[in-house]
Amino acid sequence: MTTVLVIGSTGKVGRVVVDEALQRGHTVKAQTRNAQRARRSLPDGVEIVEAAPAEADALRPLVADVDAVILTHGGDSDGENNFYAVIPALLEALGDCDTHISLMTAMNTSHSAGASASNYEFVEWKRRAERLVRASGHPYTIVRPGWFDYQGPADHQIDLRQGDLVTGQPGVDRRHIAQVLLEGALNPSGARRTVEIFSRAGAPVTDFEALFAATRADEVGGLDGVLDTNNVPLAQEPQRVQDDLARRGK
């Protein structure tokens, strides 16, 4: 049995991660800023823990005995303080342990928003969070979903891609996202993976080790996904990000 901490447990994907983990027999801690609200949306059997996710001191007792931390937090606004800031706090709380980190970001995260940055700044912060997780030294799985619930009625199979090249509005089942976030922590081939996830027609995946083994691991010491090509130079990142990476030896 594995103990899992879910940060962002009451969100659209977080609730599904909690449910999938409980179905697999794992012990689940669900982080929330409002325990009373969380009890109304989360199933029985989960331990609800109220904590500010961007504060290392608040996270430290939550991560002391967990095998994996799964992050599905943050919305489409204030990406610096509602999304990115959680990562340095989590890494400080974890210290030197080998806890697995599964992080949900978004498709096209590796790209710069360019002239559209004012509308998509939150995506830029997702990229910066990815880079810090890769530099952390922890085993990790980074999952970039397509469009939630845009999948077709026959799209029962998980479709993993790499390179961050898919455009348009490809759909993904939220349960598929939850499964890959969880299974990335449970299967050896899920470690050091950066994948885009969509749903396609076909039979449901049952062998997750084989699913991950068919993808490529990120380069040891690399800041970006192994097949990403539209990478933003580190010198163009905010000083805060450069400083955080420097503390991780990058």
Residue-wise pLDDT for 172-204, tens only, equals: 999 999 999 999 999 999 999 999 999 999 999
Cα dihedral 243, 65, 101, 34, rounded to 10, equals -80
Average pLDDT, the chain: 94
CATH code of the domain in which 54 resides: 3.40.50.720
How many folded domains does the chain comprise?
1
Domain that holds residue 238: 3-247
Stated pTM of the model: 0.96
State the first-to-last Cα distance of the chain, in angstroms, to the nearest integer.
34
Position 135, amino acid: A
| pLDDT reported for residue 12 | 94
Per-residue pLDDT of 149-178, as tens digits, reads 999 999 999 999 999 999 999 999 999 999
